[in-house]
Structure 1
Amino acid sequence: MGYCINPLCKQRQNPDDVNHCLFCGTSLLINDRICLVKPLRELTENPFSYMEVFEVDDAGTQWNPGRKQRVMKVLKWNTPKLVDLIERESLTLRLIEHPCIPKSTIDDFFTFIPNNSSLTLHCLIMDKFEGENLEQWLESNGRISQSVALQWLRQLVEILDEVHRTEIFHRDIKPSNIILQSSGQLALIDFGVARRVTDTYLAKVSGSGGSSTGRGGRYEITSVSTPRYSPLEQVNGQAVPQSDFYALGRTFVQLVTGIQLMDLPINKKTGNLIWREQTPQIDKPFADFLDELMAPLPGQRPQTTRVILQRLEKLPQQIKNYRLANSKVFQYSKYTLMILGFIGGVFLSIPLAANYLVTQGEKLEAANNSPAAQNFFYWAIKIRPQSNRTISSFYFNKGVRSTKDLGLAKKYYELAIKYNNRDADAYTNLAFVCQQLNQNDCAIKNYENSFKFKPDNWESRFGLALFYDDRRMYDLAEKQYKLAIEMSREAIPAINNLSRLKILDGKYNVAIALAKSGLQKTENIQLQSTLYKNLGWAKLELKRYAEAKADLEKSTKLDARTDAYCLLAQAQEALGEINDARLTWEICLIAESNQLEVQQWRLQILKRLLGEFVTPSSP
């Protein structure tokens, strides 16, 4: 059976051997490639149902060749806000490149008008993941174990890391939007309400420049939420990237309890879920971490996916230490073990005694009694030197949580390094905190220390290069960019930034060669856009105006970059295309950007415009 796409059709199922709907006459082959196989949501005439979802047979395009079964969303309502959402979802799926996120190309978003109808349907096609969503899986299998929860949480955060690195946040994470594939790998779907993180968006949600309503000042923000999964700031139309972490925590509470969130009790004073009694398989360190993800305020949650991944790396050891410290054997013998540990009499008791001392030190540190805490840590290391890594991990986590006090975070990272001076992550985080505090020597020193223990980490090299680049120390930045490029073929951002530095240095042909090499190595739309921008910029400086214009137009089509528009306006002027140049200059002047080059180009054009209206004074 083939299905008719026309939502107003009264008989939408059709035999396989017809090309047009027998009832309304609409073509059953959409855009010469798409056949609707079956609806994935119940078809309804409910006026509040604005979207239909089908499994489709796609014959393929030049961008996505090969026949395959895919998913198509069909927007029935032609209202501006809903059209904007599906257009944004199409762009989002094109921007994010990850094997566990649905793939969609530029040809996969189009409009279609059914036969004899004024109805315009907006259609979006994307790849389909075989498997069942976690809502369905939970109904059949019940709650998950702690080990599965840790594995799945890491998978989802790694996917979310790529999403957030593309400056997008999902805004609708929940079990029904997560697919468990037969390989055991999770996939994240439904980016219909995802948002791009821009300076404009952050200004809106901060409420700047407007009323005190708490809903974005004078700006209008689209409020989207799923009850029980969305935090308060998202319900109020002020979602931020950390809102995804709240939904992630709530999702895993449902998975580890096996209970619908609406069936879990809520603390009337705090609004927090009461869930731990339902999860005897979950240890306190992991439960504490889930509660931290679900903290009421965004600033109380981990601030980035990178921080979450670092915490997840250390959680297994924390769980192991917790189990040991709470075991019956340990509880009955802890005082004896302390004595034996201090005198070094019974070697088998030393690990237990050391763990006890570490636990007591952690409690004292939590009570802000640092001198006493460090005394316990001193004796723990004395009787068992291996304890230093556990203590280092404790201080590292305190540093990660100190997001609002950079000075305190610095202190904790320094303590983490004191107890484990081979922790590359601690050095990197300390370098970043020093960078935020404008303590340049501290930042450089700790980046260098990080390299000693992870010498082949190109991303750390790239981070130091950006540090130098931001401070216009271009020679040092160039050295680090080159090292990053030598370390990995994936260091395309370093190739791009080095190309820009070569343009600033007047070495235009070198810049062109770098940009071309980067374009050959990446399919990332944003990277392609900025590489084409550099290519066009270098050719503009070489007065190859027609070639520059072509490259800059490619850049703006891939991603609406302000700097590319400023350069394109200059190329159009040089070619005598004055009207086109005026329009492009307008975009350059009003679009958002804090880049130094853009400010300089804006200043130049403004001086020219002002000069046209200034009459020279008489001598």
Structure 2
Amino acid sequence: MKILKWIDDPKIVELLRRESIILQTLDHPGIPKSNREDYFTFTLKDNILVMHCLVMQKFEGEDLRQWIKTYRRISQDLALDWLSQLINILDFIHRNEYFHRDIKPDNIIHQPDGKIALIDFGGAREISRTFLAKLSTNGGTSTGTSMGYEITAVRSAYYSPLEQIHGQAVPQSDFYALGRTFVYLITGIPLSNIKSDEKTGKLLWRDKAGHIDKPLADLIDDLMAPFPGQRPQNTQIILQRIQKLPLQSKIQRITRSKTFVISALITSISLLVFIFFRSILPAIANSFVSQGEKLEIANDFQSSKNLFNLATSIHTPSKFTVSKFYLEQASRNISNLQLAKKYYQLAIKYNERDLGAYNSLAIVCRQLREVNCAIDAYQQILKLKPDWEVYYRLGSFYDDEGKEELAQQQYQIAIKLNNNAVVAINNLSRLKNLKEDYNQAAQLALEGLSKTKDPKIQATLYKNLGWARLMQRKYTEAEKYLQKAIDLDNERIDAICLLSQTQEALGKMDETKLWWEACMIAKSNIPEVYIWRQQLVDRLINNSKRTN
């Protein structure tokens, strides 16, 4: 049971309440369980002192700081095992739109069965548009207060990155803390005793961990990169790199051994050629993929636009260096993507069956708006592995390009291969609405709703169903479904715009005005939202002309 000592500080009380909610939300064997009734208060000393308490699951074992004191530094194999476990836990946390903000050895438990658990979610935050809005206006104070917004900064000495110390933590801040945690685990030396490079600020730790192979050391250094945009951008990228580490380490050890050098000198030319094409080429391909991934990582952690916005938000004399970095980074994005594309193409040249390289190439080509390049990459993937997800991604690409007929074909194939592919069902329902096939759109939306419990996906399916009913002039049904969509996801601007049209059709003019205002001023990149807005503007102009 965690008992709050600082009961007079409302910010600390709020952190404890948030921790309770997060632990109720996250159901994972590596995260403490806690129920709704486990958060409570009780009063002491004649109603003068109110104590806040939170009961949660206790993991048997010891935290990693205690573990290292007992057993000393960890091996390469154990480092890979623990890193894989922790990244899988973080992947679950981030996919549920939270990030931890306080990863360090003290908050990681090694259980008797070898399983790892992550604890202390008192500093965790929800990743939401509201939080990002607060972050973009954050002045960098200890509480992150600016323009009416407030973000409580959570920091741990030697483990928190610069942006988190300034109250501007992002999901990639967790990766920095994780990288520093592993420097401590594989060296067994407190970070306070490890020197840093005076120019770059990077920890000079590798000479204290000679048992760690270069590929793993490179990953750890990438996790600890000074700026969020230089770190891996999500947990999936890290997991992919971890999967490649054993092979990369094996190749490195072989190529450095004396036996390999002597054998290479005395082996015939034909055998060298055979080894080269059967063993070395995949390693070269992996190297090119790694270079491409690093260039993508060197891009923005969201987009060039966000980099410019972030640079502007922190452009003060005291932070000029950080601001300048983001501006320069944004200007490099296009050239980085072009170079990443070349690396992926080289990787494919050396390993024509590398699905990861084809997929990365498709993503880069989409970002560069090179349509034929992206289509070719997806088609090559389908030749090697005709999976429903690939058909869905190709359909999504055609959808973005406005090629609706081709998009429908790919979605239908994806659904045929996997009738539980709700994302494909949802996108196909939307296209049916655009094609004015409202019966089919409604049928698909209902089918999708029967197959998912994800609130975000349910929201978009209810939106599609409400849209179909609106166009069928079933206004009462449309109102009900669109309201459900907004209740599940109040940031669905397309549902808000459709509800405004529905309320107008029902003659509820007071509600209509409010919903139209929300539709017009909210940010949205959905094509149909722009159409509905323009239709309203045209209607208002025509009414004004008739009045005059």
The residue number in structure 2 matching 1:7 is none
Matched letter for residue 99 of structure 2 = F
For residues 172-183 of structure 1, the aligned pairs below 5 Å read 172-180=102-110
> Which residue among 427, 433, 436 is the counterpart of 2:367?
436
Deviation at 1:97, TM superposition (A): 6.5
Q: Distance in 2 between matches of 1:40 and 1:122?
A: 8
* Gap change, CA 1:464 and 1:168, over 3 Å in 2: farther
- How far off its partner does 1:446 sit? 0.5
Contact persistence 1:465–1:477 (CA under 8 A): yes
Counterpart amino acid of residue 226 in structure 1: S
The equivalent of 2:313 in structure 1 is none
- Give CA-to-partner distance per residue, 1:478-526, whole Å, 9 cap, x none: 2222233333465322222222122222222322232223223222222
Select which of 277, 280, 289 maps to 2:219. Answer: 289
Cα pair 1:522 1:528 within 8 Å, conserved: yes
Question: By percentage of residues, which structure has more helix?
Answer: 2
Q: What's the counterpart of residue 521 of structure 1? A: 451
Q: How has the CA–CA distance of structure 1 residues 130 and 534 changed in structure 2, closer, same or farther, with 3 Å as cutoff?
A: farther
Contact residue 499 and residue 515 of structure 1 kept, 8 A? yes
CA contact (8 A) 1:95 1:524 kept: no
Q: Which residue matches 2:295? A: 402
Distance 1:496 1:614, change over 3 A: same
Cα deviation for residue 234 of structure 1 reads 2.0
Deviations 1:144-177 (A, max 9, x none): 3221221222233233334434454333333344
CA distance in 1, matches of 2:346, 2:145: 40
**Unpaired runs of at least 5, structure 2:** 300-335
The question of whether the paired residues in 2 share the 8 Å contact of 1:425 and 1:450 is answered with no
Alignment of 1:178-257 (within 5 A): 178-180=108-110, 184-197=114-127, 205=135, 220=149, 222=151, 223-257=153-187
Q: In 1, Cα distance between the equivalents of 2:505 and 2:348?
A: 57
1:36 corresponding residue in structure 2: none
Q: SS in structure 1 opposite 2:278?
A: coil
Match of 1:40 in 2: 2
Aligned pairs, number: 504
C-alpha displacement of 1:411? 0.9
Aligned residue identity for 1:235: I
* Structure 1 residue 132 displacement after superposition: 5.0
Partner of 2:326: none
Bigger shift: residues 380-389 or 431-440:
380-389
1:544 to 474, 489, 499: 474
**CA distance in structure 1 between the partners assigned to 2:369 and 2:108 by the alignment:** 41
Name which structure has the greater RCO, CA cutoff 8 Å, separation 6+: 2
- Structure-2-length-normalised TM-score: 0.79
Give the Å deviation of 1:429: 0.5
- 1:435 offset after TM fit, Å? 1.1
State the distance in 2 between where 1:181 and 1:475 align: 54
Alignment of 1:503-582 (within 5 A): 503-560=433-490, 561-582=492-513
**Partner AA of 1:389 in structure 2:** P
Q: CA deviation at 1:240?
A: 2.8
- Whether the aligned pair in 2 keeps the contact of 1:93 and 1:102 (CA below 8 Å) is yes
The reply to whether residue 329 of structure 1 matches residue 265 of structure 2 is no
Letter in 1 for 2:289: F
| Alpha-carbon spacing, 1:559–1:112, altered in 2? closer, same or farther (3 Å) | farther
Match of 1:145 in 2: 75
Aligned residue among 357, 380, 402 for 1:472: 402
Question: Alpha-carbon deviations, 1:149-208, whole Å to 9, x = none?
Answer: 212222332333344344543333333444445664444444444445556755765679
Q: Which residue of 1 aligns with 2:266?
A: 340
Amino acid at match of 2:266: L
Structure 1 counterpart of 2:81, which letter?
Answer: Q
In the alignment, is the contact (CA less than 8 A) between 2:76 and 2:211 conserved in 1?
Answer: yes
The aligned residue for residue 325 of structure 2 is none
Structure-1 separation of matches of 2:67 and 2:471: 59
Counterpart contact for 1:90–1:124, Cα < 8 Å: yes
> Residue 220 of structure 2 aligns to which amino acid in structure 1?
L
Deviates more, 1:522-531 or 1:403-412: 522-531
8 Å contact from structure 1 (residues 152, 186) kept in 2: yes
The structure having more radius of gyration, on CA atoms, is: 1
TM-score by length of 1: 0.71
Matched, 1:589 2:520: yes
Q: Which runs of 5+ in 1 are unaligned?
A: 1-38, 51-75, 345-349, 355-379
Deviation at 1:228, TM superposition (A): 1.6
- Asked if the contact 1:566/1:598 (under 8 Å) is kept, the reply is yes
Instruction: Give me the whole-angstrom Cα distance separating, in 1, the residues matched to 2:474 and 2:202.
Output: 62
